[in-house]
Chains A and B, each alone.
Chain A
Amino acid sequence: MAFGSRLFKLSILTIFFGFVSFQSLLASDTKEEGKFVPSEMINHHIQDSHSWEIFHGLSVHLPVILYSEDKGFDVFSSSNFYNEDHELVPYQGYVMEHEHILLDNGGQVLDFSITKNVFFLFINSLIVVLIFLAVAKGYKKNQGKAPSGIQSFFEPIIIYVRDEIVRPNVGVKSDKFLPYLLTLFFFIWFGNLLGLLPASANLTGNIAVTGVLALITLVITLVSSKKTFWLHIVDPLGNSMGWPKYLLYLILWPIELVGIFTKPFALTIRLFANITAGHIIILSILSLTFIFQSMAVGIASAIFAGVMNMLELFVALLQAYVFTLLSSMYIGQAVEEHH
């Protein structure tokens, strides 16, 4: 019985999310010219933008912050780039093309705008901070007692990350890195989930966001690295070969040096490509409706997109897990003592 009611709720959710995305697609992306171009619509959905479009006709214009050598700093709303007919117009010597702002004489501008992704980065950080302040408060209040409320939901997850991901992989000094790795896990998880909601930004599917996360892992790895870590890179063969080893090192040193940077690079690409690919798949399935323009295909693709959404819920957790796991392995390699 419990399973039945859960299945019922799940299917309601599936239909709901299927139709929400369905409707927003229908509203925003069928062009007046009558030709529907799936790749254009998909790019619009997964890319960053200077305004936050909740659905067609309602968008929140976010602040634009620009710096150029000629004009210095400039702050204004991105609504200035649009006229009454939602067409792009130049503003104060700036022009925007495909969400890319330039000076009208073609000069380059540094763009520090609060774009859709930055806005959702703030929201995501706020969610993580609020939830974990509440959890921390729970530990203060329930000292020596059973956890309550939101604390009892997150305690098993935190314990799981600590006992199954961080401690076995980082080693003896794991608790020093636990706060960072826990933050990483929940930040990525919530970011992935946030990206699945209708009308939200593709936060963890942005290569800059994942790049910075991987960069922090790289910096922590290098800063906390011990002698053994560098010895493995500089002198991996030890005394086993005598002088000919230096001939091998001519090949090995460049490889080891590149190896330091390919690890965070792989972390960056893995998260970015997984999340972006998930969004592209869901949107492609939904755009089948508009390619075939038939009711039956519409119903089938809505159901299938709902199923893909369920799979993405799992991928959201899995990618947070993998990122945290690999980060803790890299940190573990750096801090391990001689053996």
Chain B
Amino acid sequence: MGAIGAGLAVLGAGLGIGMIGKSATESIARQPEAAGKIQTAMIIAAALIEGVALFAAVIGFLSIGS
């Protein structure tokens, strides 16, 4: 069960981070001079999504252990 849960979490996080990456590259292509700011915003958003995914991953680990 834990493995299935971790897999589902990866699905969501991958989708989310992929979409951030897509829109970040698009906006850098449109406005290369704002690349630095866009990168910072991208990393913050990615970190927040990743945090949620890692909650799920940790719960997955716990359910394997118990």
Bound Cα distance A117, B51 (Å): 24
Q: Is A89 among interface residues, defined by CB-CB distance under 8 A?
A: no
Question: 6 tightest A-B contacts by CB?
Answer: A273-B54, A322-B47, A270-B51, A266-B51, A273-B58, A269-B54
Taking a contact as CB atoms under 8 Å apart, the answer to whether A322 and B58 are in contact is: no
Which A residues touch B51, using CB under 8 A?
266, 269-270
B40 at the interface (CB under 8 A from A): yes
Kindly identify which residue among A164, A272, A277, A326 contacts B47, using a CB–CB cutoff of 8 Å: A326
Question: Does A269 lie within 8 Å of B58, measured CB to CB?
Answer: yes
CA A318 to CA B44, docked complex, whole Å: 11
Among candidates B40, B44, B48, B57, residue contacting A277 with C-beta atoms closer than 8 Å: B57
A331 at the interface (CB under 8 A from B): no
Residue on B with the closest CB to A274?
A: B54
Hey, what's the 0/1 contact readout for B48-60 against A, CB within 8 Å counting as 1?
1011001101100
Number of interface residues of A (CB under 8 A): 14
- Contacting residues, chain B, for A273 (C-beta < 8 A): 54, 57-58
A321 at the interface (CB under 8 A from B): yes
Is B8's beta carbon under 8 Å from chain A? Answer: no
* Chain B interface extent, by class: 10 to 19
Report 18 cross-chain contacts, Cβ distance below 8 Å, ordered by A residue. Answer: A164-B36, A164-B40, A266-B48, A266-B55, A269-B51, A269-B54, A269-B58, A270-B47, A270-B51, A270-B54, A272-B58, A274-B50, A274-B54, A318-B43, A322-B47, A325-B44, A326-B44, A329-B44
Q: Which residues of A contact B (CB under 8 A)?
A: 164, 266, 269-270, 272-274, 277, 318, 321-322, 325-326, 329
Kindly list chain A residues whose C-beta atoms are within 8 Å of the C-beta of B57. Answer: 273, 277
The residue on A at minimum CB distance from B53 is: A273
A329 to B44, CA, bound (A): 10
Are A321 and B54 touching (Cβ within 8 A)?
no
Given A164-B36, A269-B58, A325-B47, 20 further pairs, Cβ under 8 A: A164-B40, A266-B51, A266-B55, A269-B51, A269-B54, A269-B55, A270-B50, A270-B51, A270-B54, A273-B58, A277-B54, A277-B57, A318-B43, A321-B43, A322-B43, A322-B44, A325-B40, A325-B43, A326-B47, A329-B44
Q: Which residues of B contact A277 (CB under 8 A)?
A: 54, 57
- Contact partners of B40 in chain A: CB under 8 A: 164, 325
Query: Which residues of chain A are near B54, meaning CB under 8 Å?
Result: 269-270, 273-274, 277
B-side contacts of A270, CB under 8 Å: 47, 50-51, 54
Docked complex Cα distance between A318 and B51 (Å): 14
Query: Which residue, A266, A273, A326, has most C-beta atoms of chain B within 10 A?
Result: A273
Q: Closest residue to B56 on the A side, CB-wise?
A: A273
Residue of A nearest to B52 (CB): A266
**Nearest Cβ distance between residue A39 and chain B, in whole angstroms?**
8
- Tell me, rounded to whole Å, the shortest Cβ–Cβ distance linking A328 to chain B: 11
User: Which B residues lie within 8 Å of A272 (CB)?
Assistant: 58
- Give chain B nearest CB distance to A211 CB in angstroms: 13
